[in-house]
Amino acid sequence: MKKKLLAILSAACVLCLSMVLLAGCSSGGDGASQGSEGGDAAGSDAFTLTVGFDQGYPPYGFVGDDGNFTGIDLDMAKEVCERNGWELKLEPIDWDAKDALLNSGGINCIWNGFTMENREDDYLFSEPYMLNEQVVVVKADSGIASLDDLAGKTVITQVDSAALDVLSDEENADMVALKGSLKELQTIGDYNNAFMQLESGMVDAVACDLSIAAYQMAAKPDVYVQLDPLSTEHYAVGFKKGDDELAKTISDTLKAMYEDGTIKELCDKYAEYGVSYDNWVLK
């Protein structure tokens, strides 16, 4: 009788242990399935291209009449993201904070009429895509007809801009002489305010990118005139050092957009803002 009771108890224990093990296996299976689903979801999450840009920099990045961000560079970024299955995040920035944001990961590229010359040591760049010049704009009735006429005048440009770099180039004798002849070289946060100061007479000239000059002169053709260029350069997309794969993907996508005519469509869209398809160089 005792042996029979022990046998019954042993069988019951084995049955309970089997049920526990079975439940554990079932629970582990659900956990693995959820983990797999979570992994698939994470794997399918689109890469987000966070573009840092100056929202007061038409025609490359600015606030349109509808209150939304627009500009040829932003349109190109949107198309590049769509073709690569990426998400696009537009991040308006203070231009003098761009380096800190790029290095901290707050943005992963600068795409905003960004001149690459003399910045190659600080950034990784895409292949250059647009020819540009640094020029000086004055009021049509100012009596200033050449760079030599800027002697004793006040010139303004954007802080940390390519125009400022050109005018401050101590290895360029012409620029050293030009800057030395000025009454003052001022800097300001954005070009819209720079041109407001020019129109009001607070400054005598604005040094800026060719496209910025073309945009302002197209808007007010009887108010401004452009002097001879200070320098010739190129625009490219700027990245943190080491982002070679991202830079190559964007360069390759822009080439494809040139081949299928998308770039021409975008240049034509912004032609009234001073963008010229003839200045496109990435082919």
C-alpha of 230 from chain center? 24
Quickly list DSSP for 215-231. Answer: HHHHHSTTTEEE---SE
pTM score: 0.75
132-233 matches 48-129+236-279 in CATH topology? yes
What is the Cα–Cα distance from 218 to 203, expressed in whole angstroms?
Answer: 20
Asked if 192 and 121 touch (Cβ cutoff 8 Å), the reply is: no
Pairing of strands 130-139, 205-209: antiparallel
What is the Cα–Cα distance from 216 to 282, expressed in whole angstroms?
Answer: 26
Render each residue's pLDDT in the chain as its tens digit; 283 residues: 433 433 434 444 444 434 433 344 333 333 332 232 333 322 347 899 999 999 999 999 999 999 999 999 999 999 999 999 999 999 999 999 999 999 999 999 999 999 999 899 999 999 999 999 999 999 999 999 999 999 999 999 999 999 999 999 999 999 999 999 999 999 999 999 999 999 999 999 999 999 899 999 999 999 999 999 999 999 999 999 999 999 999 999 999 999 999 999 999 999 988 899 999 999 9
C-alpha of 63 from chain center? 15
Domain coordinates in residue numbering, the chain: 48-129+236-279, 132-233
Q: What CATH class is the domain 48-129+236-279?
A: alpha beta
Q: Tell me: the pLDDT tens digits for 181-197?
A: 999 999 999 999 999 99
Q: Which two tokens stand for residue 174?
A: 């012409």
What CATH code is assigned to 132-233?
Answer: 3.40.190.10
59 preceded by cis ω (within 30°)?
yes
Contacts of 75 (CB under 8 A, 6+ apart): 266, 269
